[in-house]
Structure 1
Amino acid sequence: MAPDFHYSNRSERPRGPVLSALSAVFPGIRAVQDQVQPYAVWWEAHNRRALTQPGPLWVALGDSMTQGIGASAPDRGWVGQLSGRLTARGWDHRLVNLGVNGARVEDVLDRQLPTLEALTTPPVLVTVVIGSNDVVVRRHRRGLVERFEQLLDRLPAGALVSNLPNPHREARAVDAMLRERDAAGRLVLVDMRHDGPRSWRGRLASDKFHPNDLGYADMASVVERAVDRADVVD
């Protein structure tokens, strides 16, 4: 499968002018943005290797937090830390990370889900952490709930999906939709709203937006609880 796997973890959008300006002025923001390209390249190579190996498959969908932007290394984000924990618990798995920096729900619909659906080996575990880039910008919040519903309709049954720890009305509506589907047994809620860190003091990277290793460790713990609820790790 690996020779035919050509998925790119690099964003198809250019960096916006505001972020470019901030990166030029603030070294902390620039340091985190300098991770974007090499972390994407790292995951591309990792994914190709993973698909040549045997074992149960985990596919992670999402944005920069799924890529681990802000962490000290690509595999020190929540995905890499959780993968290490699950391996230590005896789950010898393969991990394919489709996360893209700056991704919004529409990008998961247009790029990541088709890649997931094209895999010849069905994944045992699918995780989704997406929506932060939609909800923080007013124009992207329009239609977010409808896009999220389309996403949920296309996910395999039992996927683990995170809610959005954000006070906006759209985030609350997505949370309600996820709780309803969790109660119906159609997905497993990753409850970042209630179980995530109460404070991000000391848990943010130098850009003061992305988590650092400690913040990602807390996120990994929330997802790990959902993995245990889903009972996918033997």
Structure 2
Amino acid sequence: MADRTWSGRVLDLASVVLPGVRRVRAQKIPFAHAWSEANQKALTSGKPLWVALGDSMTQGIGARTVSGGWVPRLEARLADRFAVVNLSTSGARIADVVDDQLPRMLTLPAAPALVTVLVGANDMLTPARRRGVEKRFTDLLDRLPAGRSVVATLPHGNAAANAVNALLDASAASSRIHVADMRGPALGPLRGSLADDWFHPNDVGYTRIADIFEGPVHAAASFRSGA
């Protein structure tokens, strides 16, 4: 709790001092409302459900509009194949996906045909947050639907991120999940790809994330259809 309070105070101060941080933080509520409305439409669409789990990057925070995030961009490339139910929340950590988002997914009227997970950046912010991250990610992987889930690796180079990525690689090798690999040069140069807060992606950055997810999502969709 102390770590969460400390980080919140730092962001509050930064939003006062730095206009770019304030502009990006101001997207949180309207983007959440937009996804809530879109989710209701998705649930009555009759299409197979794509459930998106994660943090502010799955909300699309930092893009010019909510449609500029990686989820809407990839949804458009999939030619309206799925209806997206976005259960992500800004500021979410791995434990929030396990304790809140996954239980909400289980209450949906139909089981998801596809699940994507992009989370962990907020767990990497401080050494205190990184403690226990491997165990939390193990819990997350154990609860995902086998073969139908695409999980992003962590681009960070610290020991905690490396341990999580090793878990993902092992899970992918056993065909439980598909990996969207964000390590190394996958995300491209930071210059020109970050929003005004210098933390979240902008439209360029989200296009790159959609590129990374596209192949594994097609693989997960093929697994589902038996192709």
Same fold (TM over 0.5): yes
Corresponding residue of 2:110: 121
User: CA contact under 8 A between 2:151 and 2:178: conserved in structure 1?
Assistant: yes
Unaligned runs of 5+ in 1: 1-12
Out of 193, 201, 220, the residue aligned to residue 191 of structure 2 is 201
CA deviation digits over 1:2-33, x for unaligned, max 9?
xxxxxxxxxxx888111011000111110000
Out of 219, 225, 231, the residue aligned to residue 209 of structure 2 is 219
Out of 151, 155, 179, the residue aligned to residue 169 of structure 2 is 179
Structure 2 distance, partners of 1:86, 1:72, is: 22
Out of 157, 161, 166, the residue aligned to residue 167 of structure 1 is 157
User: CA contact under 8 A between 2:59 and 2:89: conserved in structure 1?
Assistant: yes
Percent sequence identity is 47
Q: 1:30 to 1:147 in 2, by over 3 A?
A: same
Aligned counterparts, 1:145-164, within 5 A = 145-158=134-147, 159-164=149-154
Structure 2 distance, partners of 1:196, 1:162, is: 11
Secondary structure, counterpart of 1:16 in structure 2: helix
Report the residue type matching 1:192 in the other structure.
Answer: M
Secondary structure, counterpart of 2:115 in structure 1: strand
Q: 1:123 offset after TM fit, Å? A: 0.9
User: CA contact under 8 A between 2:169 and 2:179: conserved in structure 1?
Assistant: yes
Unaligned runs of 5+ in 2: none
Report the residue type matching 1:58 in the other structure.
Answer: W
Q: 1:195 offset after TM fit, Å? A: 5.9
Report the residue type matching 2:140 in the other structure.
Answer: L
User: CA contact under 8 A between 1:179 and 1:189: conserved in structure 2?
Assistant: yes
RMSD, aligned CA: 1.6
CA deviation digits over 1:39-61, x for unaligned, max 9?
11111111011111111110000
* Equivalenced residues, count: 219
Instruction: State TM-score, norm by structure 2.
Output: 0.92
Q: 1:194 offset after TM fit, Å? A: 4.1
Q: Are 1:68 and 2:60 matched, yes or no?
A: yes
Q: 1:200 offset after TM fit, Å? A: 1.3
User: CA contact under 8 A between 1:163 and 1:175: conserved in structure 2?
Assistant: yes
